[in-house]
Structure formats: C-alpha cells, structure tokens
Amino acid sequence: MVKYLKLLRVEQWVKNLFVFVPLFFSGNIMNGNLLQKSIFAFIIFSLAASSIYIINDYNDINQDKKHPQKKNRPLASGIISKKQALFILAFLIILDISLKYFGYYYFKQSIWKFCVIILFYFVMNLVYTYKLKHVAIVDVCIISIGFVLRVLAGGYITGIYISQWAILLTFVLALVLAIGKRRGELINAQISGRTRKALDGYNVQFADIALSISVTLAIVSYLMFTLTQEVQTRFGIKVFYTVIFVVFAFLRYLQQTLVYNKTESPTKIVYKDRYIQITILLWLFSFLILVYDQQFLK
C-alpha cells in the first residue's frame, strides 16, 4: 500500500490546499455547502496531480535511476512495474472524469469553468513534462501558474470572487518556492557532479537574484492585498499586522535556502521546519480571529 501512495506522491497533495484559499479569505470556511465544494475541488485536483506525477515518473524513469534520491521512487526502483503504473494512471483519469459528472449532478450547478481549469492544468503539465521543464524560467513560471489554477479552481467551484492581488500573491509565492527548489538542485548538482538539462539555464547567482526579487514581490503583493478596501472592510484594518508573520516566514525560507541550502524540496520544509509551521499556524489563527470577530460584530 505504501508503494502506491509513494507513486501518487500523496505528500505533495498539500499543494492542493490552495483550492481552499478563496473559501478561507472570504470568511466562509464554516459554510457547509461551500466547504463541500472546496473539498470536492481538492480531491479532483489531487487525482489530476497524481496522474501527472505518474506520467512524469514514467517518462523520467531512466534519469531517476541515476539520481541519489529519485532512484528510490516506485517506478525507478522497480517495486512498481510500468504496466501497473499505466493501469493506475488509467484508473485515476477515469475516476477523475467520473467525479466531475458526479459533481455536476450533486451540486446541481454548472461546473464547466472548474472543469476547464482542471483540463488546462492537465494539458499544461503534460507539455511541461515532455518539453517545457527543460526550458529555464518557463519551467518555474509553469509551476507557479499551476498554483494560480488551484486558487481559480477553488473560486469557480464556490462562486467566490478572487482579487487580482490574491492571484498575483499566489503566483509569486509559488515562484519563490520553485526558484528555491532550483537553487537547491544546483547546489546538490555541484556536490554530486550530476546535473540535468533543466538546470542548464540557471546558476546559483541568478537563482539568488531571482529569489530575492520574488520574495520582495510576494511581500509587497501581500501588503497591497491587506490594504485593499474590500479586505479591510471584511476583516478590519488590523489585518495589516498579519504581514509580520508573512515577513518572518519568508525570511526563514531565505535562511533555509541561502544559508543552509535545504530547499530542493519545498514540501519537506512545510513538513519539517518548526519555525515555518508555527508561523503559518499563528498567521492562520490571527486571520480566523479577524474573520469571525468581524462576523460576530456584524
């Protein structure tokens, strides 16, 4: 069972929590109907993402066998055969399509925009897997667009409006993680002497500059988001002070990246770094207080 979960990369599903962003920031996290729709979106997106992971591992099986960490992946290590992987892939795609039809009848609403987002995500990542992941800058931008699509999917399925600042913030936040990952890969390549085509258009100096620019944009985007009239009306002017947690989290991430070179896998940082975990929890807690305090006052 564990080997199949590794094939699906279930630990990467944490990225799909971005579909809950519209629900959370709109103050509707306790709305049962909208919460069901967001959970539905999370499941659909997770199945689509796992399908892409299988295709990627299938395509990269020979390269992964030579990588010090990736050689332990189910396909590269041989604990799951190619035929088994293709069968699971077909099952996931059929299940994903079936659930979309179920969602249409269960929620009794048109979900065609949501379905278009999922289809676009799937096709974009297919092109990424076979071609664009080898094109520097384009590769990290596609990864970032994938996070924006998650937020848009959550907005379309629930009918919640998403501000331009929220979209920009999502994009640059994902860009920070993607560039940090590339930098980590560059450091490991220098140590091991192994490199790959995706890193040909990068060096550590470029990654450091791009990372600094992206972090600055992310903080400014969040700051502008908190200062918009819509957000301050909904949460109150105190929402501005939550920027403290955001700045600390980014500084901690930069420390892990530039000082300790630990960002080849951004997901592992979320799971392992206690400082970032505590900061995220404090940020979430402060937002929950602001959301429901405002609702109570009304």
DSSP structural state of residue 202:
-
Q: Which of 159, 190, 225 is the last residue of a domain?
A: 159
Q: Which of 141, 159, 177 is the last residue of a domain?
A: 159
CATH number for the domain spanning 77: value is 1.10.357.140
Q: Which of 131, 159, 187 is the last residue of a domain?
A: 159
21, 24, 181, 235, 239 from 289: Cα distances, Å: 16, 12, 33, 9, 10
Helix axes 204-227, 243-254, angle to 10 degrees: 170
- With H, G, I as helix, E, B as strand and everything else as coil, classify residue 54: helix
Number of independent structural domains in the chain: 2
Considering the domain architecture, whether residues 48 and 85 belong to the same structural domain is answered as yes
H helices present in the chain, as ranges: 2-8, 21-25, 32-59, 61-64, 74-77, 82-107, 112-130, 138-158, 164-192, 204-227, 229-235, 243-254, 266-272, 274-297
Considering the domain architecture, whether residues 176 and 284 belong to the same structural domain is answered as yes
Considering the domain architecture, whether residues 22 and 137 belong to the same structural domain is answered as yes
Q: Give 239-274 pLDDT, tens digit per residue.
A: 889 999 999 999 999 998 888 887 767 777 777 889
Residue 118: domain span: 1-159
Considering the domain architecture, whether residues 277 and 229 belong to the same structural domain is answered as yes
With 0-12 / 13-18 / 19 or more C-beta atoms within 10 angstroms meaning exposed / middle / buried, residue 205 is: exposed
Per residue of the chain (298 residues), give pLDDT as tens: 788 899 999 988 989 999 999 998 887 888 889 999 999 999 999 999 999 999 999 998 988 887 777 888 999 888 999 999 999 999 999 999 998 888 888 887 778 899 999 999 999 999 999 989 889 999 999 999 999 999 999 999 999 989 899 999 999 999 999 998 898 888 887 776 666 677 888 999 999 999 999 999 999 999 999 998 888 888 888 888 999 999 999 999 999 888 888 776 777 777 788 999 999 999 988 888 877 665 544 5
Considering the domain architecture, whether residues 10 and 139 belong to the same structural domain is answered as yes
Yes or no: say if 187 and 51 are a contact pair by the CB < 8 Å rule. no
Considering the domain architecture, whether residues 24 and 171 belong to the same structural domain is answered as no
Considering the domain architecture, whether residues 108 and 194 belong to the same structural domain is answered as no
Considering the domain architecture, whether residues 139 and 123 belong to the same structural domain is answered as yes
Q: How far is CA 273 from the centre of its chain?
A: 17
Q: Give 18-53 pLDDT, tens digit per residue.
A: 999 999 888 788 888 999 999 999 999 999 999 999
Considering the domain architecture, whether residues 188 and 150 belong to the same structural domain is answered as no
Considering the domain architecture, whether residues 142 and 54 belong to the same structural domain is answered as yes
Considering the domain architecture, whether residues 199 and 281 belong to the same structural domain is answered as yes
| pTM (two decimals) | 0.90
Considering the domain architecture, whether residues 61 and 127 belong to the same structural domain is answered as yes
